[in-house]
Chains A and B, each alone.
Chain A
Amino acid sequence: MSSSEGQLAALVRPSLSLRLRAFAGANTLFVVGIVIFALILLAAVFAPWIAPYEPTAINFKDKLVGPSFSHLFGTDALGRDIFSQVVYGARTSLMVGFIVTGLALAIGVPIGLLAGYFGGKIDTALMRISDVFLAFPPLLLPIAITAALGAGLVNVMIALAISWFPWYARIVRGSVMSIRQELYIDAARAMGVGHLRIMLHHALPNSMTPAIVQGSMDFGYTILAAASLSFIGIGARPPTIEWGLMVALSRSKFLDYWWTAAGPGLAIFLTVMAVNLIGDGLRDLLDPKQKAG
């Protein structure tokens, strides 16, 4: 019988750390992603100790100096050290990634839970409403929301979360709908357990994995989107140090002084790539069904 086979498989299933080690051995890119991300995370946490200069210190004597040992990424038009700014900028971008993904999960997961668990009219209504938020080309809805709330990084984060939550609502709904058919849910209901308790204690824990996998894959995209909004001038404002904003400020200079755009550009690229590699790896590890070809 398949159930006894399943029990057997569970018995011989290797421990998580063993599985992780085997997985990492076979997935170099996942490890590369984790290493790069760890370095960026360290840079963000220990920015004051890592940055060789005060990131906002203006020094006209050394303005627009190319990369050298004293200024790894060169200096900008005001003589500020670009490497120091990039290090501090890691704080902004990682914070944006965590807050936006967290907020979008916080809105999307309950909606998906309700829709998937109750089904019927509640499901139709909630999903139709969520679908409206998906009816916009990328970046457009966050732009419109930011335009209404006013420019600024906080509003950009709110706008991105509002534009993003339907994806999580859909994913959680899908997995809750399949869980709803399981015997243990019927059993719980027969024992008189309330809806809320079943949702929070049974449906939610068993449907979070795909949502978290999706979240890790979207994390990089949120950073990109926030950087783009800052780049077009409606996101972060000085004195906030943000990579997209740094690239925007370099626009009048970058043709003659390439390093003014290169440092922050490279930082965005590496961060997003690292996060994407981790997301791909997590998907393969936790959710092999979704594995891409």
Chain B
Amino acid sequence: MLRYVAQRLGLMVGTLVGVMIITFVLSRILPGSPVEMMLGAKPTQEQIDAARIELGLDRPLYEQFFRYLGDLLNGDFGISLRTSQPVIDDLFERMTATVEITTPAVFLVVLIGVPLGVLSAVRRNSLLDHAARGLSIAGVALPLFLIAMLLQMLFYGALGWFPLQGRMESNILLDYPFDRVTGFYLIDSLLAGQWPAFFSALHHAALPIFSLTLASLAVVTRITRSTMTEALNEEFVRTVTAYGLPKRSIYFRYALKATLIPMLTVVGLTYGYMLGGSIVVEYVFDWPGLGGYVVGSILKSDFPAVMGVTIFLATAYLAINLIVDLLYFAVDPRLRAQ
């Protein structure tokens, strides 16, 4: 098993180097060259030459790449042209806002999608099954930005239950201040015992979380349904049925357990999908996370920031996949024995 872990880690490192080659190539074909960006309009030829040497652009390409790689490994992602801060600081500052909506969304998707998929599989061709199928066909075809805007229209425009956008009202933030311990508003406000701040944070996070949840619900329901259908045809299910065990424990205790590995993969993929989805959702809800950051950076031609987010999120994505693979061992004793 250790060998497997080492192998997977090695593969991930290799892929990450590949990711960095891509971002390196991309940052070399950028429209404005880094020199122009540094010097502004109409520099003299001597200034350009000096800057090229200073940036190492006169060196061979492979040497430039290794320098780039070294910088990244040291956490030097460059300086954001928009915020004038080191990109890495911006990333850590905004990462928590993204995690604060994606993680609850993954939980909600599993909490709703898995039981829905199980019920559809158990009651095949029932009204519920058809409804779930219809919803999943529709859900896959709805772009995330429309889901988000529909929620805004319904819950802000028509019902007025939730705020339109943002992470917290500024007056609440002033009246009920709390220390940034973890960076998660939902946790920090609780730690400080500032209930109004906590509810305001929850209130603002709700619609972004629902958007991400709705966008992934169809896929999770569908996959649960198909793996559950397979599991229900297994012999052990027939055996426990013959023993006369209650239906609920057959479905949820025995059959569902057999679907754990495919489900783990789905949860991992869903989380990865949400990291991508957060780009659109944060843009719509003006949510100060990584997704909103990358969109704002592109629109302002802030390339160090764009490439920083790209590397950062790709790393997170690969790490999630690795964790899911390793969790297989925890879930399936047969794999550990090998």
Interface residues of A (CB under 8 A from B): 29, 128-129, 131-133, 135-141, 143-151, 220, 224, 227-228, 231-234, 244, 247-248, 251, 254-255, 258, 261, 265, 268-270, 272-273, 276-277, 292-293
Contact = CB atoms under 8 A, between A and B. Distances in A.
A231 B15 contact: no
Contacts of A258: 153
Contacts of A150: 31
B142 A269 contact: yes
Nearest to B133: A29
A148 B26 contact: yes
B18 interface: yes
A276 B298 contact: no
Nearest to A243: B143
Interface residue range, chain B: 35 or more
Interface string B297-318: 1110001001101100110111
Given A140-B294, A144-B307, 17 more contacts: A29-B137, A132-B18, A132-B19, A136-B314, A138-B277, A139-B276, A139-B279, A140-B276, A140-B309, A144-B23, A148-B26, A227-B145, A232-B298, A255-B157, A269-B141, A273-B137, A293-B225
A269 B299 CA distance: 27
Nearest to A142: B276
B314 A135 contact: yes
Nearest to B228: A293
Contact of B280 (A136, A228, A269, A272): A228
A54 B299 CA distance: 30
Contact of B276 (A138, A227, A231, A273): A138
A30 to B, nearest CB: 12
Contacts of A261: 146, 149
B67 to A, nearest CB: 19
Interface in B150-166: 152-153, 156-157, 164
Nearest to B273: A138
Contacts of B96: none
Contacts of A145: 26
A51 B226 CA distance: 43
B279 A255 contact: no
A233 B310 contact: no
Contacts of A265: 143, 146, 149
A226 to B, nearest CB: 10
Contact of A276 (B26, B137, B273, B303): B137
A273 B273 contact: no
A39 to B, nearest CB: 16
30 contacts: A128-B15, A131-B18, A133-B22, A135-B16, A135-B19, A137-B275, A137-B276, A138-B273, A139-B276, A139-B277, A143-B295, A143-B306, A144-B23, A144-B307, A147-B26, A148-B27, A148-B31, A149-B31, A220-B141, A224-B143, A228-B143, A233-B298, A251-B284, A254-B149, A255-B164, A261-B146, A273-B140, A276-B140, A293-B225, A293-B230
Nearest to A233: B299
B229 interface: yes
Interface of B: 14-16, 18-19, 21-23, 26-27, 29-31, 137-138, 140-146, 149, 152-153, 156-157, 164, 222, 225-226, 229-230, 272-277, 279-280, 283-284, 294-295, 297-299, 303, 306-307, 309-310, 313-314, 316-318
B145 A247 contact: yes
B303 A129 contact: no
Contacts of A137: 272-276, 313-314, 316-317
- Going nearest first, the 10 A-B pairs with the smallest beta carbon separation are A132-B18, A293-B226, A138-B276, A137-B276, A273-B141, A137-B275, A148-B26, A272-B141, A144-B310, A139-B276
A20 B218 CA distance: 29
B314 A231 contact: no
A198 B298 CA distance: 46
A143 B19 contact: no
Given A132-B15, A136-B317, A143-B294, A254 B26 contact: no
Contacts of A244: 143, 145
A129 B18 contact: yes
A232 B280 contact: yes
Given A128-B18, A137-B313, A137-B314, A247 B30 contact: no
Given A139-B276, A139-B279, A144-B307, A255 B143 contact: no
Contacts of A228: 143-145, 280
A254 B148 CA distance: 12
A216 B143 CA distance: 18
Nearest to B283: A232
Nearest to A272: B141
